Structure 1
Amino acid sequence: MNIRKILNILTLFTGAIAVTFMSLWIGKQAYSWLPPQAAAESHLIDDLISFLVTLGAFIFLGVTSTLVYSIIFHRAKKDDFSDGPAIEGNITLEVVWTAIPVLLVLWIAGYSSQVYEQMAIQGPAQLVHLHNPMGMESAYAATKDAPVDALAEPVEKIDVVAKQWAWVFHYPEKNVTSTELHLPSDRRVRLALQSEDVLHGFYIPAFRLKQDIIPNHTIDFEFTPIRTGEYRLTDSQYSGTYFATMQANVVVESPEQYHQWLAQAATHKPSPANNQAASEYAQASTQAVKTGWATVAPAPSPLVNYPG
């Protein structure tokens, strides 16, 4: 074995180690690109994203470093315009570079499916049959910091109604209705998701939770908030002209503060909540010059104890 071949092997080995460690480091940085983990289930999605970033970085750095190495050490000599050697197909090489992508895709699909099941996200097939398949019984994902006994059974049950274009939350315990979603920290929560009109999507980025809401179906969805603070709920599905206004605050607070808020809200008489979609629709209807296409009139402003 000549010196050049030994140097090529050493270069390949060293480069592979460098690319691997750099890819792992980039994958760790992916956690800082995401919102704070506000639910026990969020680490499942974050781990998946970190894995995909690590894999993507490894492929990108591997291909790029190979090209740079080839350009620097294997470029043609100056004024050499001759053709390269006539090399026919290498069956072994073709099998390898076909098998590796196939295995990677299967690996990613299997991992993603496992996370999908652990999050208990119900897809169209499950929603049609109105049942959770095996392995999708709850969105439970315990964390080291969260109390084990607090994550066992749902202790808070909240009804969620989506309509064009507003969110309405009903708390059966005190018969309180609100346009702001309040949740106790470190307590299991079960939401009963319903739609009054079209397809909507329940999406809280900080929780990493997104569930389609199908009209004429009640979808039970569980999760565990673990970080106090204020977050944002949006409609992840295009539900009509004013779907961008269909947002709501999500307030995660201590169990004591949560029950205090619930008791205080129960003393308020129901009143119409502010509805941005209705306001924009009314403003557009009074304009002298009509612009755009006709749109569905927003649902009346909901009557709530706590407008947010």
Structure 2
Amino acid sequence: MKKRHSTKTNYPLQALSIIFFLFLGILVLLPAVYTLCNSFMSPSEIRQYYAAAINQREQGGAAFHLIPDAFSLEGYYMVFLRRTNYLMKFWYSLFLCIAISAGQIFVSALGGFAFAKYPLPFKKGIFFLLMVLMMMPIQVTLVPNYIILDGLNLLDSWLALILPMAFLPFGTVFMAQIFKGIPDEILDAAKLDGAGTFQILFQIIAPITKGGIISVFLLSFVDAWNMVEQPITFLRDIFRYPLSVFLASVNQVNFELSFVCGVLAALPILLLFFFFHEELAQGIELSGVK
């Protein structure tokens, strides 16, 4: 006769787990909520609470002030209509990130398709090197990229940022793993119908792996949006710096607008993940399916 095992719920442990993860969630969300709430302060109110700490005129930190004394859109008005240099940097950075992400998709699709479906010489060794490069920090490749860009006379131009970022190995490795899950019978049937390599890739395979392509776009966009070392290394003209570098100067010159600038800087990333989070999850899932 089989014994029945009764499962008892450990309510104290469950309650502690809920409290712990709730506390962890508050810690994660607090900086974003703090920045958003302070962005609705007037510049005079921000100077009142934070000027002493930012200018280092007294010991200690600034007082934690979450809720504005009076709701104000003056900061947004100044950024959009009075201090247009921020918006110029915003649109310039958006152009750079879209160009980098589009280049990353094109290079990753071609490279990943070749590694997954074609018998290339030394394919395993080259793919292993790509994985090694992918695990290296970006700072390791700054000097080699600088030498190459200097030889091509591309320093201090927007191509100096786009080309190295478009050829990062992550996208190729990621797409190769996805393309390996595509049955070879689909390719063989397309070839029998007279389709060429580019036609197979962009008209047949790309729609099937849309989630993976969107994932590469999102991840490369985030990487490009947050880049700091590359502009400082490859650009001599500070007026060509993207928003990620320009934000540091906001705290020094117009610190009363730093919260508004922080909210607007996070907006593109938040919108992309809000609208395409399902495709991102699908792409990551496809990359793990063999």
Which has the larger strand fraction? Answer: 1
Q: TM-score, normalised by structure 2?
A: 0.21
Q: TM-score, normalised by structure 1?
A: 0.20
Larger Rg: 1
Q: Which has the higher contact order (CA 8 A, sep 6+)?
A: 2
Which has the larger helix fraction? Answer: 2
